[in-house]
Structures are given as structure tokens and as C-alpha cells.
Amino acid sequence: MAKPTLNFVCQSCGAAFSKWSGRCDGCGEWNTIQEEKPLSEGPAKQALVGRGRAVALTDLNSQEAPPPRTASALGELDRVLGGGLVPASAVLVGGDPGIGKSTLLLQAAAAFANAGLKVIYVSGEEASAQVRLRARRLGLGEAQVKLAAETNLRDILTTLDQERPDLAIVDSIQTMWSDNVGSAPGSVSQVRAAAHELTSFAKKRGSAVIMVGHVTKDGQIAGPRVVEHMVDTVLYFEGERGHQFRILRSVKNRFGPADEIGVFEMTGGGLAQVHNPSALFLSERGQPAPGSVVFSGIEGTRPVLVELQALVAPSPHSQPRRSVVGWDGSRLAMILAVLESRCGIPFAGLDVYLNVAGGMKISEPAADLAVAAALLSAREDTALPAETVVFGEISLSGALRPVGQTENRLKEAQKLGFSTAILPKGGKAAGSKAMKLTRMGDLSAFVGEIFGAG
């Protein structure tokens, strides 16, 4: 029996189906499944024997010099890229609407042009006059950047092939359309074809290409995930509209460390670099208050200090609320369970709210002990000393596990004036003689010594 052909594709998540359906089983969206023309199956395998051309092979220990990176005046951007822009690389930048992606890339285009690169900025969402107007507002009217407003992928590639730029910025990949793909712009097939063509151009011609990608309501880059596999670097531009700073985070980088961050501050003249993010995140921290704890974390290769805020209050409802902003909600549930099971501190009948101040998002488990300290501080209405930082991982048995890069965490805290650190036993802590280190073996000892509860 012949296998059915998958000709129906969800335009939201890229899931393929053999027949049309009103609702996608993959992402749950309605009216997103459309029929697409299948790719040509090509000749039989037997017909490929003896055809084609030989591919040149080189040794791994060849003496060819690695491609030089180009640094811009935006040090935070260079940090996230791994030290600068690599020739023939493909970079995908995603972010929420209005977060500042186009502003960042326009400033990056001017910075790389000032560094001596030939830069072309292709906009599929704005006219050239609108881009020039934004450039004048940012004080970049004299930058040697060539502009183009086009959505036809064939015309764009022809222009890039003639101009041979060192850097091409395409804003955005969802607006590009290829005339040999029979679907609407922004569909899965169009996004996949445009990303493939632009990435192939970057590899063949040696030009770096930066593509802007829209994000879905879940915060993921719209289109098939295969697009993220095609490119060399995937960057997310994050931030809260109520805060003035933005975070450029690397989630994939073939030429540098992944999960690196660069911090920018949104001003009237564009995005300004923040060279000391810890001072910015703690700038609005007032007097010590119950539920407030400073956590020393690591983002990529950079230590960052942020304030964790917790609030514990009696719940008027039969099922208490658990609200988290900037952290993993399931991790919070685990810590509450460990506190109740291993330390005898119940949170039943209490609403629990946890917030990472400043809109920062934390994903590392090293924040477990700081979260537990914030919850206990709010519950017992006891404030921790102002000059104390907390970090450590909590296991299900209640034991505290040491975390990596302890020295860097302590040095950053000491640089900002903190004199005491609470951390698990074990781990290296050389170079921190000026700080008082309080080491804990398990969560019960931490609760009893710091709060006298449990």
C-alpha cells in the first residue's frame, strides 16, 4: 500500500498532515493548515549512479588561516556574536514586535560600515525613506549604508550578487517571497526557501547575512524550526515594555559561547550599551525588605547580579495561587515541595508570588537557594542583610549542590560592594578572602541558621 503524501502543512508550527483539518494537532491553532505543492521526488536512485561531479577534499590540518572577525563599536553585540562578525556567517535575530530589532540592526549596520565593511540594509516592511527617517532620528544619517526596499527574493539575491557586500541585513525573513514557491509570503514554505537561499548565498559569496525573524505568541521564532538549524547563530532580543533596557541573548552560536547576553538601554536616541548590567539591575533596590534576595548568576560567560522578590500572603481561595515572572514555574513548585517535605515549612493556604526584578529571565538551577531564601524571608517577614548574595542548587533530598563558576560569582558580588555570600559546601572560592562565606550542607541547616524556622 502506497504511503500517503503529506501535502498539508501548518503555517504556524510547520507540522505536516495527509489531509486538511481545521485545527492543528501540533500547536492547537485554528485555520492554519494549508495545502502546499510537494517538492519534486526527482529521478530514481539508480539514475544517479555515475552522475555528478567530484567534491574537493582538504585535510583537517591545512594551514589556511581562519576567517578574521570584524568588531563594531557595539561591544555588547560583539560579545553576543562571540567576538565580532564572522564572514560568510548567517545570523537569525528574533524578538517581540516593537522591542527594537530594527533599531538595533540599523545601529549595527552603521557600526560595521564605520569599521570598513560594505553594508546593505534590505527592508521588506518599510520604504527606504522611512528607514532614512529613523536613521536621522538615531543620528546615523551620515552612515555609509546602502538601503533597499524589496520583498522579491530573486531581485534581492541578484542585487547582492552584483554588489558583493560584506554584510547584508534582511528585515524581515517573513516578508520575503520566492516566485518558484507556490504559497503566500510568510508561509512555512516561503520562510524555509528564503532562509535557505540567503544562507547559501552567504556561504558561497563570503558575505555575512543577518535575518530578522518574527516570533509567535509563545516567544519562538515563527516558521519551521529547520530555519534555526540552517543558520550559524540564533539571537533573541528580549525585554519588557515597562522597563528601559533590552537583552540580546544568544541561544545558538557556532563561533562562540551560547547563552551569552548583551544588555542595552532604550533611550530617545536609540539603544545605548550597558557595560555593567549588575549595577543597572540593582540600581532601584532600596532598603532591605522581607522577600528581597540578591542572586549572583552567570549568563554565558558574564556574571550578573539580580534581585529576586517574593511575596507570601494568605489566600482567600480554596486553591492558592502560584505566580512566577522571569523564572520557571515548575521549578518553583519543586522548591515549595522540598521546603514542606524536608524542612516542615508548609505553604498550604498561602498565595506565592515570585518576580525577577528588572524583567530579567533566569533559567539556571543555581537560583534555587536564592528563591528559597526569598520565599522564607517573605513568609517569616524577616529581611536578609543588605550586603548578602545567595546562590546554590537544591536537590529533591534537600541537599545543596555546588554550582559552577563560583569564583566569578563572588568576584562580581565583591566588586559591587557585597561582603557576605551564602552558598553550598564544596566548589572553588579562591580570590574571595575579603568576603565572608557561609557554606551550607543542606536546606534544613540553611533554614535553621538563617531564619531559625523549620
**97 labeled part of a ligand binding site:** yes
Judge contact between 379 and 448, C-beta under 8 A: no
**99 labeled part of a ligand binding site:** yes
**100 labeled part of a ligand binding site:** yes
Helix, strand, or coil here: 393? strand
Which candidate, 249, 220, 209, 211, places its Cα nearest to that of 77?
A: 249
Largest CA distance in the chain: 79
CA distances from 450 to 347, 375, 438, 447 (A): 19, 13, 10, 6
**101 labeled part of a ligand binding site:** yes
List all residues 6 or more positions away from 49 whose beta carbon is below 8 Å from its beta carbon. Answer: none
**96 labeled part of a ligand binding site:** yes
C-alpha 8/C-alpha 453 separation (Å) is: 59
**297 labeled part of a ligand binding site:** no
H helices present in 206-242, as ranges: 226-230
Helix (H) or strand (E) holding 135: helix 128-137
**278 labeled part of a ligand binding site:** no
CB burial class (10 A; 0-12, 13-18, 19+) of residue 57? exposed
Residue 111, C-alpha cell as written in the block: 557600526
CA distances from 1 to 4, 7, 42, 237, 275 (A): 9, 18, 21, 48, 63
Strand partners, 70: 85
Residue 383, C-alpha cell as written in the block: 529581611
Backbone angles phi, psi at 71, to 5 degrees: -90, 145
Per-position b or e across 116-154, b if 16+ CB within 10 A of its CB: ebbbbbbbbeeeeeebeebbeebebeebebbbbebbebe
Judge contact between 402 and 417, C-beta under 8 A: no
Q: Omega before 172 cis (within 30°)? A: yes
Residue 239, C-alpha cell as written in the block: 525585554
Residue 207, C-alpha cell as written in the block: 558575505
Judge contact between 232 and 90, C-beta under 8 A: yes
Amino acid residing at 264:
F
Binding residues: 95-102
Binding residues for ATP: 95-102
